[in-house]
Amino acid sequence: MRIAMIGTGYVGLVSGACFADFGHHVTCVDKDEGKIAGLHAGRMPIWEPGLEALVANNVARGRLQFTTDLRKGIEGADAIFIAVGTPARRGDGHADLSYVFAAAKEIAEALTRPAVIVTKSTVPVGTGDEITRILMENGAPEGTSVASNPEFLREGAAIRDFKIPDRIVIGAEDDHAREVLREVYRPLFLNKAPILFTGRRTAELTKYAANAFLATKISFINEVADLCEAVGADVQEVARGIGLDNRIGPKFLHAGPGYGGSCFPKDTLALLQTAQQHGAPMRIVNSVVEVNDARKAGMADRVAEALGGELNGKRVAVLGLTFKPNTDDMRDAPSLALIKRLEEGGARVAAFDPIGHEQAEPLLPNVEFAADPLAAVKDADALVLVTEWDEFRALDLREIAAAMKGNALIDLRNIYEPEEVKRAGLTYRGIGRG
C-alpha cells in the first residue's frame, strides 16, 4: 500500500520507517526543510535505538522517502497519517490542535482522490469529527474517511513496540476505513497482534486513559515511597509484593523523581481539560498531576537535606538529564525542575548525560556540562543520580568518592544498594528505603 506520514517527529518517523519495513511504500512529509535535508543525508532528528539503520535500509530499498511537498507526498496514498505535535497549550493545558487542523486543511486541498485520513497524533475526543468537517469544507473528494489510530510507543523501545505491539487500536466509522487499516497492519497479523476496532471517539479516549492510568501508578508508588521512609519500610519490596499480583503487575511501580517526557505531562492535562469541558471532572487524575508536580520540585530538598540543609555555595553533580534512558528527550524531564531548584538555592551544578547533552544545553544555560561521570563529580559536595542509564549502574564508587569533595550520594532511581555505597566511603540516600 501507499502511505503518507505527515510529520517526521518521534511518532511520524518511527511509524513511517516501520510501515516501510513491512513492505509498504511510505512518504514522510515535513515543513521543516532542515529536518528533511538531514533525513536525506541520513541524519536522524531524534535519538532512538535502531532507527538510523531502519531508515537507511528502507531508503536504500526504495520504500521510504522524504519531502517537504505535501501535495507530492500524498499523491496516490491509500492512507494518510497525521503525526504532528499536539503540545499542551500555554495557560490552560488544552492540547494545541493547530498543527493537526492545519495539516487536515492542506490535505483536503491537495487530495485528488479519496483516501483514509488517520490521526496518529494524540488528540482529544471529538478531534476526528472536526477533521471531517475541515475536509468537507475544503474540498476533499467524496469518499474520504477519517479514522483514529493512537500510538503506544515507548521512547527507547519504539521500534519493538511498533512491531510487537500489546495492541493496535483503530477507531473508524465506516467499513472502507476499517478495511484499509486492516491491510496496513496485515503484516502484524502473523504475530497475532491484538487488534481492536472501535468507534473513533473511543479510540481517541483510549490513548489518554492509558497514559493517565500509567501516570497514576507512578504517582501512587511515589507516595508509597514517602510513607516507606516515614515508617521504615522498603518501597522496592513493597512494589514487588504488590506487582506480583497479576491484577496490578510490576510495571510503572518504580519509585523515583516523578514522570516526565513528551506524553504523560501533556496528556494528563489534556484529559483533565476534556473532562472538565464535558462536566465529568476526574479527581484522581487531577491528584496525580498535583503529586507529580510537587514530586519533581521536591527532589532538591532531598539534596539539601543530604548537605545539612545548605545548598548555597555547594557544587552538585547530576548524572542523567533526559526524562528516561535510551532517549535524548528532555521534555518535562525531572532533572529540569531539580536543577532549577538547586540553582535557586545557590548551588553550582555540573552534569553528564550519555545522549542528552545537545538537547539539554539550551535548557540549562548555567550548568557545567562534563565529558564523563568522573569529570562531573570532580570536587562535588554531592552526587545525584537522576536518570537510570545502564552505564551509571556500574560506576567505580571508590573512584567517584576519591574525586568528590563531599561524600553525599542521592540515588533518585535506587540503582545502588546502600551498603555498597557506604563501603565506598559515601553516604547514601535513596527513594523510599526507610
Catalytic residues: 263
Q: List beta partners, residue 408.
A: 382, 427
- Neighbouring residues of 295: CB distance < 8 A, sequence distance ≥ 6: 219, 222, 257, 258, 334
DSSP 109-137: HH-SS--EEEE-S---TTHHHHHHHHHHH
Spatial contact of 270 and 94, defined as CB atoms under 8 Å apart: yes
* Cβ neighbours, 10 Å, residue 110: 18
Cα–Cα distance between 217 and 124 in angstroms, integer? 22
DSSP 424: T
Cα–Cα distance between 272 and 111 in angstroms, integer? 35
* Cβ neighbours, 10 Å, residue 24: 21
How far, CA to CA in Å, does 314 sit from each of 140, 351, 398? 62, 14, 21
Beta strands 408-411; 382-385: pairing state:
parallel
Using DSSP's 3-state secondary structure scheme, residue 305 falls into helix
